[in-house]
Structure 1
Amino acid sequence: MAVAEANEALADTAMGAHFDMTGLAVVVAAAVLLGLGLTRLKQPAVVGYILAGVILGPSGLQLVERSGSMSVLAELGVIMLLFLIGMELSLKAFMRVIGPSLFVVAGQISIAAAFTFLFGTVLGWPTGQSLLLAFIIALSSTAVAIKMLDDIDELRTPIGQITVGVLIAQDIIAIPMLIFADSLGGRGFDWLGVVKSVAALVFVIALVRVLSARSKIHFPFTDAMRGNADLMTMGSLAVCFSAAAVTGLIGLSAAYGAFLAGLVIANTTLRVSAIKVTEPIQSVLVFVFFLSIGLLLDLGYVWDNLGTVSIFVILVLAVKSIVNIALLHLAGTPWQQAFPAGLIMAQIGEFSFILASIGVTRGVLDSQGYQLALTVIAISLLVSPFWMANLRRFHDVAAQGVIDLKATLAEVYAVELEEMARGRALLFRTAHGITLRGRAMRKAWKQQRRSRKASDDADKSEKS
């Protein structure tokens, strides 16, 4: 009976009875086009995926809805993302900057918590909400920051090393954050969640130290798996999902297990092969995750709360920039390196989407707070490269000793002002040309009318 039903379902699917490919084609095409467009503008492609969800979702063209199956795929995307981050983590490089990196991350979380608890006291927020918002604000985007470092050729310089070190430390500490956020609820503070989070963090740091101190691990059947792409893919996924299932069963986050599995594979001889075969799967699932975020963004909410959203985005970027630069300098980074590194980490990261999603699911964030968090995160990701590029210009001009505001603005935006002057000159020439052409056409039209009238008068006089 089950076999017959399966065969019937396969036949129906093959004939197109249960699945319309049009919607899928539109979604993928829109995501690719927006991703390409934003890449050309020096933006990360993930922002294009979010915009695709906004445009095609319930608040846009209403071509796509967030379904249960999409939520499952988005959750798998998060698991695969953490699995890949674990595999790509360079433990030896991280251990060289682990001290300053952990100091900076601890400072980021502490200062973010101070701000959110201050606001929470005034606005009457519960303790859990204040702490969750601190986690959301403290994290930066690894994908966006590394792309920006690569764009300005600083990825392998001291600026890139300390920035990547801080981002890796954030990724490690984000795992206990996810566990703690998952333990929150309307009942308030959960000490068991705190114990789980601390234990998870201690275990991750211990695992990093152990793995970084030893040579590559050689798994059984390594040679057989490396020579077969199918076995390599299925073996990697089996390790990832098994670890996620185990941590889920013992009351921890499934993403935590996936991250640990990635760390272990990163220290084996299968690392390069595993990354190669799992990265395409991860890319598709992460695309679904960011698309689902876009589906949740409400354009009506953004428009109705444009002032509030703008203030929060500017505050987040400005305060995070100042805090990052100060903490990096206190950790021993020279000002010349701390300034660009701090600006690069000014945005809010993709882990914060996950924290916000857990928060609204557990009742820690209400729908208004959730929409505000999603909107601010998405916009901060979008404008972060522009923010960094402009402030770095101001820094370079200030380093030259220019103090006067008008002179500073003129120096910072010299290229844009020159282009605007050229544009105005071109516009003036175009308008002047159109005016002259108009005058000539009116003159020709009047002459034509006079000639026609003279001809008509001559015809009338001949007839009379």
Structure 2
Amino acid sequence: MPETIYLTHILFLLAAAVLTVPIFQRLGLGSMLGYLSAGAIIGPWGFGFINQVEEIRHIAEFGVVFLLFIIGIELNFTRLLAMKRMVLGLGLSQLIATGSILAGLALLLGMPKDTAIIIGFGFALSSTAFGLQTLTEKNELGSVTGRTSFSILLLQDLAVVPLLTLVSFLAHDISIAGSGGLAFLQGFLVIAAVILAGRFILTPALRLVAASHNAEVFIAAAVLVVLGTAWLMESVGLSMALGAFLAGLILADSHYRHQIVADIQPFRGLLLGLFFMSVGMSVDFSLLIQKPLLIAGLVGTLLMVKIIVILCVCKIARINNGTSIRVSMLLSQSGEFGFVLFGLAVTVGLMDMALFQMLTLIIAMSMVSAPFMAIAGEHIERRLRKRKKQTSFDGNITQPKGEHFIILVGFGRVGKRVAKILDAGSVPYLALDNDPHLVTKGQADGFPVIYGDASRYDVLNAMGAARASAIVVTIDKVMVVERLVHIIRSRYPKTPIYARGRDKDHCEKLHKAGATIPVSETLEASLKLGGAALAVSGVSDKEAANLIDEFREVYYETLSGS
């Protein structure tokens, strides 16, 4: 009988997702709102097909775990350390400011001091699942919006453990509070042990599993790594999501990272969808019907406070207006860890069940608003970009004379080498980069490089792109290059575009986006190595050159489809 009930629940969940999510995506509202609506329809306050919301939510939390693992594996420790200023600056400022303001408002509404503190900081935590999923769907994790949002969300995840400990202290639970220092020491030791095990044990273990050539066993090993690390973190009072993120960071430089990501993605997608559905199921429509104005006012106040605080923090960090507004609206909701924090407060007696249900409803409704806020933020950012005639680039650009000059987009190592080659050939050019440090250094070295954003028409137009003989894109960021090529091609349909590609798959995407010739890094490196190998093997220079030219010609012909 129980097995039949579980099977029925699974069927209802799958059917609701399959029927609802494609409709919302077709309407341009995103998959998350579709999952939320599906959960509300089949949940206890909809048709009542599923009533065990807590059981569903506990399982669905693994979606957030797998999401953090994927994010971690796409980063690495070097990139994370480079973000420490944003994480500690933006994240900590937002958490303290938002938590303090919301706690003050709770005090004004008559809440006891301890309860008000818990409410303030519980609401200050945004939804990691919503924020990262939205950015992932739009391929914007590497953008300024993505890095800023991720920095704030990461600090919030790191703050979950201290906040849970704070709840225990406020409840005067001597057995827990007295061991707070020991818990932190245990957490530190476990994290150190996980990092050491990952460096010296995990990769050899995965090598042995891969050697078995059994795909199912490798998938099981990948899931074991994620869940095992998450369990270790939870056993010492840390969050499972943080443990999964740490596991991802450890494997970020592994040879098996791409296969692991491919194996984990289906679990992440299904469980994350289930998480969003569980949020939709948890909306108590009876309480919403009884006190609609109160709930609407509280949710509106929460959203407004978080938007204002995050906007101010971003502006202090000198982030542009459009990005600041978009990040503040993207992270304006409260998140999944609020459920955990308030649940612990009920357990230790700092909050009664009626207040807990009210706070849970506010979190759920703020999460329901999240897709709409994200869409609105993106729309506002787009409008600001169109309206504002920024002059962050040098408006008094001295364009090269004549019709035959090159525009060079990106002035990193590759861009600078191309510039030197053009100089050697006495070919006029003008370089562009959005990194002030590279621009300053390039100008000091005598190169004609200016600061600006190549995705903006006014910048390219001021550089004389309409009469350039070619535009060369040397940026090494995969998604950024593809987007730039598409934008440049749409504005200058007849101008040749030569773009730097990562590999053959990336070059094919660049060709479809409009690149005249995408140049593969891996191909050119392999041709150089192959040529050296031919030379040392006694093949004549002429024959080796012919072989390499033939190989190159066939390679690029496959891209153009000829």
TM-score above 0.5: yes
Cα–Cα, structure 1 residues 172 and 238, in superposed 2: closer, same or farther, change >3 Å? same
Q: Which structure: larger Rg?
A: 1
* Higher-strand-fraction structure: 2
1:211-226 pair list within 5 angstroms: 218-222=203-207, 224-225=209-210
**Could you say which residue in structure 2 is the equivalent of 1:452?**
none
CA deviation profile, 1:33-92 (whole Å, cap 9, x unmatched)? 222233334444233333222221222211112077545523544544444444344443
1:129-168 pair list within 5 angstroms: 129-146=115-132, 148-149=134-135, 155-168=141-154
CA deviation profile, 1:339-397 (whole Å, cap 9, x unmatched)? 33333332333443444444445544433333333333333324312442565478569
CA deviation profile, 1:237-289 (whole Å, cap 9, x unmatched)? 32333334444444555554444333323343332222221222233333333
Residue 209 of structure 1: how far off its partner (Å): 11
**Could you say which residue in structure 2 is the equivalent of 1:180?**
165
**Could you say which residue in structure 2 is the equivalent of 1:266?**
252
Is contact 2:17-2:35 (8 Å) kept? yes
Counterpart CA distance in 2 for 1:156 and 1:113 is 28
**Could you say which residue in structure 2 is the equivalent of 1:314?**
300
User: Gaps spanning 5+ residues in structure 2: where?
Assistant: 390-562
Q: Does residue 305 in structure 1 map to residue 291 in structure 2?
A: yes
Q: Does residue 96 in structure 1 map to residue 82 in structure 2?
A: yes
Counterpart CA distance in 2 for 1:200 and 1:39 is 45
Is contact 1:180-1:193 (8 Å) kept? no
**What one-letter code is carried by the residue in structure 1 that aligns with 2:80?**
F
**What percent of counterpart residues are identical?**
26
Residue 315 of structure 1: how far off its partner (Å): 1.9
1:385-396 pair list within 5 angstroms: 385-389=374-378, 391-392=380-381
2:99 to 113, 116, 120: 113
Is contact 1:44-1:147 (8 Å) kept? no
**What one-letter code is carried by the residue in structure 1 that aligns with 2:205?**
P
SS at match of 2:266: helix
Counterpart CA distance in 1 for 2:206 and 2:378 is 49
**Could you say which residue in structure 1 is the equivalent of 2:48?**
62
Q: Does residue 380 in structure 1 map to residue 369 in structure 2?
A: yes
SS at match of 1:64: coil
**What one-letter code is carried by the residue in structure 2 that aligns with 1:219?**
P
RMSD of equivalent CA atoms: 4.2
**What one-letter code is carried by the residue in structure 1 that aligns with 2:373?**
S
Counterpart CA distance in 2 for 1:387 and 1:52 is 22
Cα–Cα, structure 1 residues 254 and 319, in superposed 2: closer, same or farther, change >3 Å? closer
Is contact 2:190-2:233 (8 Å) kept? no
Counterpart CA distance in 1 for 2:306 and 2:68 is 24
Counterpart CA distance in 1 for 2:201 and 2:103 is 45
Point out the more displaced range, 62-71 or 294-303. Answer: 62-71
CA deviation profile, 1:183-233 (whole Å, cap 9, x unmatched)? 47854796457647865887799899999xx99984334164274321222
1:287 to 258, 273, 279: 273
The structure whose RCO (Cα within 8 Å, separation 6+) is larger is 1
User: Gaps spanning 5+ residues in structure 1: where?
Assistant: 1-11, 401-464
Counterpart CA distance in 1 for 2:357 and 2:337 is 16
* Higher-helix-fraction structure: 1
SS at match of 1:219: helix
**Could you say which residue in structure 2 is the equivalent of 1:422?**
none
Cα–Cα, structure 1 residues 312 and 41, in superposed 2: closer, same or farther, change >3 Å? farther
Counterpart CA distance in 1 for 2:383 and 2:183 is 41
**Could you say which residue in structure 1 is the equivalent of 2:316?**
330
Cα–Cα, structure 1 residues 69 and 277, in superposed 2: closer, same or farther, change >3 Å? same
SS at match of 1:220: helix
How many pairs does the alignment contain?
385
Is contact 1:83-1:262 (8 Å) kept? yes
